[in-house]
Amino acid sequence: MDIQDVKTIGVVGCGLMGAGIVETSAKAGFNVVVREINDELLQKGMARLRGSMEKAVSKGKLAAEDKQAALDRISATTDMEAFSACQLVVEAAIENLDLKKQIFADLDRICPPETILSSNTSSLNITSMAAATQRPDKVFGLHFFNPVPVMPLLEIVRALLTSEETMVLGRALGEKLGKTVVVAKDRPGFIANLLFVPYALDAIRWYDAGLATKEDIDTTMKLGFNHPMGPLTLCDFVGLDTLLFIADAMYDEFKDDRYAAPPLLRRMVMAGLMGRKSGRGFYDYGK
Ligand code: CAA
């Protein structure tokens, strides 16, 4: 399949990442089918997406008529069968491998045999998702970054049996979405998190050890290295539960102390301090 053949993209899940992928795809001219497990989550995701598009309009990044045209290209549903109309599907459900394998098996049954299937997972094994289908050559990773409409990077991941044709299509898709593409092997963390996670975990370890205040740790990386966010602010932004999940997946595979979650991180997650999404992490974000 060629990128010109891709008219309709499916997105499984309309959470933070799913909504961003839907927005980016619709703005790039694709028709989009987005599916959530119930109406409440679907409406919440679509409200987030509309809010982001309104922000883009108010920032002068998107014309009001283009916003409406993009919204008109989106079809929101709770029905998995709607993915039968898609030439490419991006799975952006929660990070649970068994659930993802089930989604891939369902997509394999529902979608035409030529449809390409991808996952936005940040650390789970793409090869095992591919193995849940009869088309492992047409399965690959498409890892977007939050906020998806703003971040220019797209990491594409080649699983063990992904074909060259699928990778070529992935690159072309990334370009059409206005992203710069990098390619990684199917190893937990790919490129981005393999480098980011040890850095984030070190920031937490040194904060916990009393090296400096959280503000000074963050200011150092912001002003000394021109990062838009310091590491602890970025941990809150990513979500401490998500960070812990990725670190655990990486540690599980590599058994390398660089990826071992610090006790403070695990306890913060246990205590419900997830970062921005819960209102409190290293910093307090109010209600
Ligand atoms: N649509 C389009 N453009 C938008 C937009 C939207 N909804 N919202 C903002 N923008 C644009 C703005 O116009 C602005 O563009 P210019 O620089 O051209 O003016 C730019 O995006 C920045 O927006 P803001 O000025 O509103 O916000 P900011 O300057 O405070 O930046 C931020 C916010 C982009 C989030 C920035 O703090 C940042 O880059 N933080 C780091 C984010 C990051 O590292 N993300 C990766 C997380 S890891 C991940 O996702 C993967 C994983 O596996 C864990």
CA–centroid distance, residue 207 to ligand 1 (Å): 25
Position 242 confidence tier, pLDDT thresholds 50, 70, 90? very high
Position 71 confidence tier, pLDDT thresholds 50, 70, 90? very high
| CA of residue 286 relative to chain centroid, distance | 25
Residue 82 phi/psi, 5-degree rounding, is -65, -20
Residue 278 is predicted with a pLDDT of 94
CA gap 199, 206 in Å, rounded? 11
Residue 88 is predicted with a pLDDT of 98
Please compute, for residue 278, the number of CA atoms within 13 A of its CA located in the half-sphere on the CB side.
19
Residue 261 is predicted with a pLDDT of 98
Q: Are 253 and 222 in contact (CB under 8 A)?
A: no
CA gap 154, 159 in Å, rounded? 16
- pLDDT at residue 287 greater than cutoff 80: no
Residue among 56, 102, 58, 110 at smallest CA distance from 80: 110
Instruction: Please give the mean pLDDT across all residues of the chain.
Output: 97
Residue among 2, 4, 11, 7 at smallest CA distance from 107: 11
Position 147 confidence tier, pLDDT thresholds 50, 70, 90? very high
24 lines ligand 1 (CB under 6 A): no
> Atom 54 (ligand 1): residue with closest C-alpha?
238
CA gap 76, 208 in Å, rounded? 44
pLDDT tens across 217-228, in order? 999 999 999 999
pLDDT tens across 249-259, in order? 999 999 999 99
> Atom 29 (ligand 1): residue with closest C-alpha?
228
Tokens 């992928």, located at residue:
21
Tokens 């959530």, located at residue:
36
